[in-house]
Structure 1
Amino acid sequence: MKCSFLLRKTIATLLLTTAVIAPGAAGAADDITRIVVGFAPGGALDVLARSLAEKLRGSLGGTVLVENKPGASTRLALQAVKQAPPNGKTILISPAPPFVLFPMTYPRLGYNPDKDLIPVAHLADVPLAASTSVEQPFKTMPEYLAWVKLHPESLGVGMATLGGTIHFGVLTMSKALNMPLAPTAYRGASMMMTDLVGGSLPIGIDAVAAQIGLQKAGKIRFLGVTGVRRSTLLPDVPTFKEAGVAGFDIASGWYAAFVPAGTPAPIVARLEKALIEAVKDPALQSKLATAGMEATGLPGAEAGRIIQAQRAQWKPVVEASGFTAED
């Protein structure tokens, strides 16, 4: 009898607790905002996403989580966000290629970059830089170009992957210089940097953040940065354009935020305001700079314009290359 009484009391207590907690738990579930990124934890994009999550918890309220969804060159993440309810609770943060280059290089995407997702805000630029070992005889881009003409066996230009802006930038540079430079892809940036430091690769191009440690350690030197203006991260390093090299004016990377198509305009506007305010915060900007990013904070309409303009600029280069990405 005593045992039965205790059991009934325990069950009654659990039911009462459930009745009290359940409404709050349901409300909490409805109040979760997810930031989806197409890469594993770590790296610049993950740093950006988690930094934004901290800020958005205050401006949007509720819980903000980062969901890492790597695979298929970030396309799995885009497809997941495309299929999410259009209620502002699922935000994609993406690099440029899935919106600028993939529509021209992949025969099957699984999403329509212009119809399935709405650009909310342009968040950060990701400067790229050409570098070489400090043991190489050339110290500037003009010196490298003069050197490589005398060493036709050393035409390889290292990069982490084919089909990105570095790849097509090298093809443009090669054509402009009438020099058969060869885009040389590695399975990862670390493997490329090993060959670069060792001297078997004359020159490589990658994000500044992936190289700054080796530069500070005196292992490599920077020859030039992408874009039309010098990077605030490397103010003493000239742009490719300053060095007389074509092909890299729009080759810098960037990150922007997107939501599923059909998301109501007032919700998009609220997210846009919160995201722009977040990346304008000096403390967050400093954190992003440490990770190799330059905060921008541009509205979604401007992000959309950048996508269309860059796609139009790269189209003839991609078509002339005949390059097709593999699934």
Structure 2
Amino acid sequence: MTHASRRKLVLNTLALSACAVAVLALPRPAAAADPDAPMHIIVGYAPGGAADSLARIYAEQLRQDGHGTVIVENRPGASARLALDYVKRAKPDGKTVFIGPSPLFTIFPLTYKKLGYDADKDLVPAAVLTDVPTAVAAGVQQPYKNMKEYVEWARRNPNSASLGLATIGSAGHLGTVALGKAVGVPITPAAYRGASPMLVDVISGTVSIGWDAVASMMSLYKGGKLQFLGVSGTRRAKALPEVPTMKEQGFSQYEFATSWYGAFLPAGTPPDVVAKVEKMFIAASGNASTAAKLEVLGLEVAARPGQEARHRIQVERAAWKPIVEATGFVAED
């Protein structure tokens, strides 16, 4: 073999080797999800609560709609942040879905020093599922029957103006602090380890008012133990057409206190997969039986695409930001 031939052979070999290395270095496409693999819906709360019940209602409907096996997993802890963290690390193939409440994306980024996740980047919104109307309630023996009357009473009895809460840093907490500043009467928050003990003290008058989801208070309201002074949002709750919104009564601090549940996927999920999951959940929301089951829980079907979820997150976070800054509240854990 001549020197020129050997040189040509070496160059060709090097070129082939370089091509092989380049091919190996190319990013590999994500492996397609096994169509027969079960879908896992992750919930950040223990079994039996509203979030768990909602997830199981959707899981059942998805199964009936022909989407195969759907498993609900409860991963409670840290106000659903443990479940969110689990999902953000999951394979982005559309088979792991987080069903979580909006404050994780709207309020927590403003209040937690160490959030542990990026509310805009770690998960992809697939759909808005339901609204969660909330309300300010009081014992039926209290002299005030609506929010206007309560504010007048609080001005006359500032030392007795107190708010029972199951969650410090919630929309009800921040809204009431903002209300107190607006009307010139500080309303002292009282934190409880859950809604049940808090509502006991609301009924007895130990605290002057309480705030929570309508769903958790409806049975007490129907049983004549509680009265609703006003509901959150911009329209009356379907389950409570007789109760005016707080905004109707002149108090806009609770306009965004209607939270919502959404379906979220890990960042990096391909757009076509996100679109498929979005379509599945919106179709499930449109089933009359599903909607009826959710309404029994005090949840209102509000099925919207993922893009609207993104928009809603940004609008609500912007609305809460000045309120959080004015209260100076910081969540430590």
Q: TM-score, normalised by structure 1?
A: 0.89
Which whole-Å deviations, capped at 9, do the CAs of 1:121-166 have from their partners, x for residues lacking one? 0000000011111111111222211112111221111111111111
Structure-to-structure mapping, 1:1-327, within 5 angstroms = 31-59=37-65, 61-327=67-333
Confirm or deny: 8 A CA contact 2:43 2:52 kept in the other structure.
yes
Structure 2 CA distance, aligned partners of 1:146 and 1:225? 18
Larger radius of gyration between Structure 1 and Structure 2: 2
Structure 1 CA distance, aligned partners of 2:118 and 2:328? 22
Confirm or deny: 8 A CA contact 1:176 1:246 kept in the other structure.
no
Confirm or deny: 8 A CA contact 1:172 1:246 kept in the other structure.
no
Structure 1 CA distance, aligned partners of 2:250 and 2:321? 23
Residue type at the aligned position of 1:107: K
Structure 1 CA distance, aligned partners of 2:209 and 2:128? 30
Q: How many correspondences in the alignment? A: 301
Which whole-Å deviations, capped at 9, do the CAs of 1:256-315 have from their partners, x for residues lacking one? 000001111111111101100111111111111110100010000000000011111111
Tell me what 2:18 maps to. none
Q: Which runs of 5+ in 2 are unaligned?
A: 1-32
Tell me what 1:24 maps to. none
Q: Percent identity, please.
A: 51
CA RMSD of aligned residues (A): 1.5
Secondary structure of 1:204 counterpart: strand
Secondary structure of 1:250 counterpart: coil
> Runs in 1 of length 4+ with deviation above 4 angstroms?
27-30
- CA shift, 1:59, in A, is 3.4
Secondary structure of 2:91 counterpart: coil
Q: Which runs of 5+ in 1 are unaligned?
A: 1-26
Structure 2 CA distance, aligned partners of 1:139 and 1:322? 30
Give the direction of change, closer, same or farther, for the CA distance of 1:134–1:33 in structure 2 (3 Å limit): same
Confirm or deny: 8 A CA contact 1:123 1:256 kept in the other structure.
yes
- CA shift, 1:28, in A, is 8.7
Mean Cα deviation higher: 209-218 or 175-184: 175-184
Mean Cα deviation higher: 312-321 or 112-121: 312-321
